[in-house]
Amino acid sequence: MTPAAALAFLRGREQFHVKVGTRNIRRVAAALGHPERRYPSVIIAGTNGKGSTAALLDSILRALGLSAGRFTSPHLVEIEERVTVDGRRLAPEEFAGFVGEVAAASDRLPPDFRPSFFESVTATAMLAFAAHRVDAAVFEVGMGGRWDATTATDAPLGLVTRIALDHTRYLGPTVEAIAAEKAGVARPDGELLAGRQTPGAERVLEVEARMRGARFRSVAEETEADFEILPTGSQGRLRTPEGLYEDLWLPLPGRHQVDNLALAVRGAERLFARLGRPVPDPDAVRRGIREARWPGRLEWLPATPEHPAMLLDAAHNPNGAVALGAYLAAAPRRGVRVLVFGASKDKKIGRMLPALLPHCDRVVLTAAATRRAMPLEALAAGVSDFPWADGGGPDVVEGVARALGRAFEAAGADGEVVIAGSIFLLGDALRFLRGMPARQPVAAPIELPLPPAETLAAP
């Protein structure tokens, strides 16, 4: 299958946006010969920080001498970003070859069992990791945990990052209800490691893990971190029950990344224990942390003759916006700071923008070229009652390229532009900056309703 044909197949599966349960992905995996059973996996659930934790854990495992696969979502610009082996994403031709195998297996299934877009890409990652004979694979959950396609890996080691309100339509109206869904990644005789949580969420995770026969560990309680938080990262030390890691440099900015770091290090330690390997070497762990990269999360792009300095951060829900706001409050300001903001339809912008507005001088609202983007009219209406400074208001600009142009002009050569609110917005901005064609949205998806939990068979 060619890269163009692979993209066409996947885009054709995007109409089935939300599917309930792991029935289809398990049927596809069986048709492919169960590639997910040929290597041990770690699965990472949570609301914010999943991708950062996956990037850190992947980098640490590779520094420790393991061949590692990593599956994350969504991608910023090109779909191949979702699947990496030994720190490198697959070439388009190789990625397309694996998609072709998934498409062929899908065609052999009854129509009702054929995979969605996300299930197809998850199966592609499973195949790629088996073909490359990785020593371990890291899978980031797409949404929730209990019914997410990635849980078909049946990974015995689950990590849960900070839980907050997001995707409430599918996961529940409270943090505790969402925690119960996230805990669904726990497996019998496995382990569930939780990063820093609210007391209610942690209680639910512990109870649900034990009900599923897994051992629960609170990483926040069993680790001691002492870090100096700097605008470009953090430096300090981390003590765990199994090791002491000193002189660490964490290149992912933001205080919240220290919690993700502790979770990733504990994940590496527990994976080594399950593999019967010695306690990880602190020097290798230190190197893995230093070399970790995760684009689009508090990522600075330096000023050029074409644009001022730019800060890219997904901040795609209220919890993420609060973290970005805290970073902006502490970061030195380069002249005029302009926020370019867009969000997905299901996001609570009334709880996102207030965390950012006090730290910005101007605001430009826009929408990414995706069916999931909140329309400009809804964005503008959602902020119409905000107490804008000087009686003004935001600029509402159609098209990310034009919105960036407006922001560059407002910031001037000595100012800075912050792009936040949506991963899709970041992707469109990067496509523009790289001179790539704009993304073309696909048809509206068929969203299947989530039935009551008791009507669903266990995964």
CATH of 3-290, one of 3.40.1710.10, 3.40.1190.10, 3.50.50.60, 3.40.50.280: 3.40.1190.10
Which of 35-39, 79-83, 410-414, 449-453 bottoms out in mean pLDDT, i.e. has the lowest?
Answer: 449-453
CATH 3.40.1190.10 in the chain is located at 3-290
- Per-residue pLDDT of 141-184, as tens digits, reads 998 888 999 999 999 999 999 998 877 777 888 999 999 999 99
Task: Give the H/E segment covering residue 229.
Answer: strand 224-230
pTM (two decimals): 0.91
In the chain, how many H helices and how many E strands?
16, 17
Contacts 24+ apart (CB under 8 A), 435-438: 436/77, 438/369, 438/400, 438/401
- Per-residue pLDDT of 105-147, as tens digits, reads 999 999 888 899 999 999 999 999 999 999 999 999 998 888 9
CA torsion 216-138-142-102 (nearest 10°) is: -130
**Do the Cβ atoms of 400 and 410 come closer than 8 Å?**
no
- Coil, helix or strand at residue 109: coil
Secondary structure letter of residue 447 according to DSSP:
B
Instruction: Establish how many alpha carbons lie within 13 A of residue 234's alpha carbon, considering only the half-sphere containing its beta carbon.
Output: 24
pLDDT above 60: residue 31: yes
Tokens 């696969």, residue located = 69
Tokens 């877009």, residue located = 117
Task: Give the H/E segment covering residue 271.
Answer: helix 256-274
**Do the Cβ atoms of 232 and 196 come closer than 8 Å?**
no
With a CB cutoff of 8 Å and minimum separation 6, the contacts of 212 are 183, 184, 186, 187, 188
pLDDT bracket for residue 456 (50, 70, 90): very low
What's the confidence (pLDDT) of residue 389? Answer: 63
| Helix, strand, coil share (%) of the chain residues, nearest 5 | 45, 20, 40
CA distances from residue 275 to 53, 54, 266, 435 in whole angstroms, order as listed: 20, 19, 14, 45
- C-alpha 65/C-alpha 306 separation (Å) is 41
What's the confidence (pLDDT) of residue 451? Answer: 41
Per the DSSP assignment, residues forming a β-bridge with 419 are 312, 340
Instruction: Establish how many alpha carbons lie within 13 A of residue 270's alpha carbon, considering only the half-sphere containing its beta carbon.
Output: 27
**Bigger pLDDT: 317 vs 58:** 58
CATH 3.90.190.20 in the chain is located at 299-433
With a CB cutoff of 8 Å and minimum separation 6, the contacts of 165 are 47, 173, 174, 175, 178, 317, 318, 319, 348
Question: Domain 299-433 adopts which CATH fold?
Answer: Protein-Tyrosine Phosphatase; Chain A (3.90.190)
